[in-house]
């Protein structure tokens, strides 16, 4: 079997600290390294469209909400693991770029809704299409049955934390 970078690290630890069971280090190290590599590949696709994963997250949340593609800042915040200050900054940047707008909430004039502008809708449509194609490219490195098995294992593991 071919050795990866993590195998080399584990070999070193097994030599230096044979008293430790470093098997979990291998699993978590590989997950972390894969997350880094995959994150870079995902970010490249967004950068080609003038986006970042952060801006895509906001636009995609609005798009997924369905027509009329509007959410309160609180509802947007609930879809992401960020602070309200970070969310305000993301909305400000997208508003400056002409992709979203703040609208007065017709149900509560003291609050606003964040809405996709036509330019934002067009961009997120192109971005999600490119993103899904990129995801297919990245997961094609595994056989279909391997993807199904890995997805089931990762779901089980993730649910233990959620």
Range with the poorest average pLDDT among 24-38, 72-86, 114-128, 141-155: 72-86
Residue 138: which H helix or E strand, with range?
Answer: helix 118-139
Per DSSP, 98 falls in state T
Q: Where are the alpha helices (DSSP H) in 4-114?
A: 5-16, 23-48, 53-64, 73-78, 84-96
Q: Give the pTM.
A: 0.88
CA distance 118 to 122: 6
Identify the three-state secondary structure at position 141.
Answer: coil
pLDDT mean over 15-19:
97
Identify the three-state secondary structure at position 39.
Answer: helix
At 110, the pLDDT band (50, 70, 90 cuts) reads: confident
**Contact between residue 127 and residue 46 where contact means Cβ atoms under 8 Å apart:** yes
Per-residue pLDDT at 107: 85
- Indicate whether 114 pLDDT > 90: yes
The CA dihedral of 6, 8, 14, 15, to the nearest 10 degrees, is -160
Q: Distances from the Cα of 66 to the Cαs of 77, 121, 129, in angstroms? A: 17, 11, 16
């Amino acid at each position: 079997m071919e050795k990866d970078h993590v195998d080399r690290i584990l070999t070193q630890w097994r030599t230096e600290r044979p008293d430790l069971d470093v098997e979990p280090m291998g699993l978590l190290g590989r997950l972390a390294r894969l997350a880094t590599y995959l994150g870079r590949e995902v970010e490249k696709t967004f950068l080609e469209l003038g986006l970042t994963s952060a801006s895509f997250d906001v636009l995609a949340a609005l798009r997924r909400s369905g027509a009329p593609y509007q959410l309160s800042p609180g509802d947007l915040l609930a879809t992401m693991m960020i602070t309200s200050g970070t969310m305000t900054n993301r909305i400000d940047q997208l508003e400056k770029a002409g992709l979203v707008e703040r609208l007065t909430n017709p149900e509560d004039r003291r609050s606003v809704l964040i809405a996709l502008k036509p330019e934002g809708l067009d961009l997120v449509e192109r971005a999600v299409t490119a993103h899904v194609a990129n995801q297919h490219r990245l997961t094609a490195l595994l056989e279909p049955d391997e993807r199904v098995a890995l997805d089931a294992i990762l779901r089980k593991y993730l649910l233990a934390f959620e």
